[in-house]
């Protein structure tokens, strides 16, 4: 009865929200996109057995399919970490009512199971269970096989929910999980441990011995209970107050930055803004993934022969943070932008701080990319040219276009599936930032002169650095003509 009442309240809250009504058209468009993927995945599920028989004619297609399930589990964990938002419930309205906190906690955890992401994959698995598992084994075996996959999905759901909640309190716990996660794939890549063989053994054993299904069910129950303990510990107002107090004490100044005067003070404030808010922290945690982007391309011989693709990757791995943060450079401060305007701020130093922040992050990322020398000096040449292009050209472009973004951003909302603050201008700015260097480099690469293309990219970046002061003067002048329009736009909160 309590659950029915809570669901009814949540339903009303969703449909009475002005944000839901405002995004109705966008939701309809996304619905058509999801329908398109469902049809494609359904076709994959229907023809999966036939494809496996053609690729592996001498093997059992079901056993071969089982060998990929742990890879699916890993991919699902990564997608959920990036895309899955945490289920929320405002418990304050219920605190004075005769509702047990444990009921609220159970409801919140069960609410996460209603996410379409938990069942989207079964568009593939159900057809294969019918024409593959049931065909070669039995209907009962197919049902057990599907239930084992459902346990994987639920396990991923609760595991990522737990670590994403821990990220705001104990980020080292989440970082440790990420290290363990990555180590399994490195062990598999260097053939020290075979994920494929382990996957085939585990899921085939469960499929053939139905009693073993109790093991994944028990594991899901354990992860559910861990989440429940975490919520109970952090749901009390007294505990929330303690956590907030701890955060305010731990958010210390970064001393060596403050010694650089006003610019150092501004840098210190901006770093603390990122560390104290959910969207900023998520972006910081995602930055190492931008640097690791090269591992998806450099080991592949096909991509190593595609110079234009390598330039695109080079721009992204050194400029991932710059592109993500710089695209909303002033929207991050939209909540207190009026305060900035009302204070005696030297806008030249204010913009210089923005440039130093983006350039420093880009430089750190570039230094980390030097490890890609393992794949050849060609990668270092390309990444160096892209780095110079990023700090000399792209940063100026991002600062210029960010003056035209007047949408408010709530920093405490999740980053995944959150289009708050996004506009067509944010998409347009990606053209000169990422597509233009590829267009510049491609003709020279096609005619056998790739180093000329890299030299031109580097020259554009160097010219941007040479004329940096003049460019920044023009941007500050442009800011003076737009700052009140920006302030008016940031005040629109709904």
Q: What is the pLDDT of residues 265-292, one digit of tens each?
A: 888 888 888 777 777 777 777 778 788 8
pLDDT at 202 over 90: yes
Find the mean pLDDT for residues 297-305.
80
For helices 139-167 and 214-234, the axis angle rounded to 10 degrees is 20
What's the pLDDT band for 222 if we cut at 50, 70, 90? very high
pLDDT at 149 over 70: yes
Question: And the tokens for 452?
Answer: 């000329």
Q: What is the pTM of this model?
A: 0.60
Question: And the tokens for 70?
Answer: 């742990």
**Number of DSSP helices (H) and strands (E) in the chain, helices first:** 28, 0
Contact 113, 154 (CB under 8 A): yes
| Number of Cβ within a 10 Å radius of residue 120 | 14
User: Of 385, 382, 386, 196, which Cα lies nearest the Cα of 298?
Assistant: 382
> What digits encode the pLDDT tens for the residues 34-76?
788 888 889 989 999 999 999 888 889 999 999 999 999 988 8
What is the reported pLDDT for 258?
57
What is the reported pLDDT for 80?
83
As a residue count, the chain comes to 494
What's the pLDDT band for 237 if we cut at 50, 70, 90? very low
- Residue 81: half-sphere exposure toward Cβ, Cα within 13 Å: 20
Helix, strand, or coil here: 414? Answer: coil
pLDDT at 485 over 90: no
* % the chain with pLDDT above 90: 32
Residue whose structure tokens are 């096989």: 145
pLDDT at 226 over 90: yes
Contact 281, 269 (CB under 8 A): no
pLDDT at 21 over 80: no
What's the pLDDT band for 252 if we cut at 50, 70, 90? very low
> What digits encode the pLDDT tens for the residues 426-459?
666 777 788 899 999 999 988 888 899 999 999 9
How is 184-220 classified by DSSP, letter by letter?
HHHHHHTTSS-HHHHHHHHHHHHHHSGGGGHHHHHHH
| Number of Cβ within a 10 Å radius of residue 273 | 15
pLDDT at 372 over 50: yes
What's the pLDDT band for 241 if we cut at 50, 70, 90? very low
Q: Which residues contact 49 (CB under 8 A, 6 or more apart)?
A: 61, 128, 131, 132, 135
Contact 136, 202 (CB under 8 A): no
Contact 223, 159 (CB under 8 A): yes
pLDDT at 424 over 50: yes
> What digits encode the pLDDT tens for the residues 88-132?
665 556 666 666 777 778 888 888 888 888 888 899 999 999 999
Residue whose structure tokens are 């289009």: 419
Weakest-pLDDT range from 8-17, 111-120, 140-149, 301-310: 8-17
Contact 280, 274 (CB under 8 A): yes
Using CA atoms, how far apart are residues 225 and 221, in angstroms rounded to an integer? 6
How is 65-77 classified by DSSP, letter by letter?
HHTTHHHHHHHHH
What is the reported pLDDT for 244?
42
What is the reported pLDDT for 16?
54
Question: And the tokens for 469?
Answer: 């002061």
Question: Which has the higher per-residue pLDDT, 424 or 363?
Answer: 363
pLDDT at 416 over 60: no
| Number of Cβ within a 10 Å radius of residue 282 | 21
pLDDT at 251 over 50: no
Weakest-pLDDT range from 184-198, 380-394, 414-428: 414-428
User: Of 419, 396, 392, which Cα lies nearest the Cα of 472?
Assistant: 396
> What digits encode the pLDDT tens for the residues 339-370?
888 877 788 888 998 999 999 999 999 998 88
């Amino acid at each position: 009865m309590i659950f029915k009442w809570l669901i009814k309240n949540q339903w009303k809250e969703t449909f009475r929200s002005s944000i839901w009504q405002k995004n109705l058209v966008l939701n309809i468009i996304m619905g058509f996109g999801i329908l398109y993927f469902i049809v494609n995945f359904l076709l994959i599920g229907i023809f999966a057995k036939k494809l496996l028989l053609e690729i592996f004619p001498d093997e059992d297609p079901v056993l071969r399919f089982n060998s990929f399930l742990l890879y699916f589990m890993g991919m699902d964990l990564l997608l959920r970490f990036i895309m899955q938002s945490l289920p929320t419930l405002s418990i304050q309205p219920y605190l004075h009512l005769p509702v047990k906190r444990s009921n609220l906690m159970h409801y919140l955890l069960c609410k996460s199971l209603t996410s379409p992401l938990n069942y989207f994959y079964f568009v593939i698995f159900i057809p294969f269970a019918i024409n593959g598992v049931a065909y070669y084994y039995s209907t009962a075996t197919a049902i057990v096989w599907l239930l084992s996959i459902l346990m994987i999905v639920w396990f991923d759901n609760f595991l990522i929910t737990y670590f994403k909640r821990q990220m705001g309190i104990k980020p080292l716990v989440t970082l440790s999980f990420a290290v363990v996660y990555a180590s399994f794939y490195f062990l598999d890549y260097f053939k020290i441990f075979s994920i494929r063989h382990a996957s085939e053994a585990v899921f085939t054993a469960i499929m053939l011995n139905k009693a073993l299904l109790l093991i994944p069910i028990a594991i899901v129950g354990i992860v559910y209970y861990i989440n429940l303990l975490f919520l109970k510990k952090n749901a009390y107002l007294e505990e929330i107050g303690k956590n907030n107090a701890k955060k305010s004490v731990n958010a210390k100044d970064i001393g060596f930055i403050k010694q650089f005067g006003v610019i150092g003070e501004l840098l210190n404030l901006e770093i603390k803004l990122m560390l104290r808010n959910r969207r900023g922290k998520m972006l910081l945690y995602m930055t190492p993934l931008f640097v690791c982007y090269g591992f998806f391309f450099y080991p592949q011989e096909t991509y190593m022969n595609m110079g234009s693709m390598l330039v695109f990757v080079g721009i992204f791995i050194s400029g991932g943070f710059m592109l993500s943060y710089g695209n909303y450079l002033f929207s991050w401060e939209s909540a207190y932008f009026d305060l900035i305007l009302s204070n005696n701020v030297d806008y030249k130093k204010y913009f210089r701080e923005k440039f130093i922040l983006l350039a420093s992050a880009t430089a750190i990322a570039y230094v980390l990319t030097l490890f890609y020398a393992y794949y050849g000096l060609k990668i270092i040449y390309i990444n160096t040219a892209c780095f110079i292009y990023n700090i000399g050209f792209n940063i100026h472009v991002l600062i210029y276009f960010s003056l035209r973004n007047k949408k408010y951003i709530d920093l405490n909302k999740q980053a995944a599936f959150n289009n708050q603050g996004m506009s067509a201008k944010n998409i347009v700015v990606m053209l000169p930032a990422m597509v233009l260097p590829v267009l510049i480099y491609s003709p020279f690469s096609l005619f056998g002169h790739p180093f000329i293309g890299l030299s031109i990219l580097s020259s554009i970046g160097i010219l941007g650095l040479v004329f940096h002061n003049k460019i920044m003067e023009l941007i500050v002048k442009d800011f003076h003509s737009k700052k009140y329009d920006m302030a008016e736009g940031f005040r629109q909160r709904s």
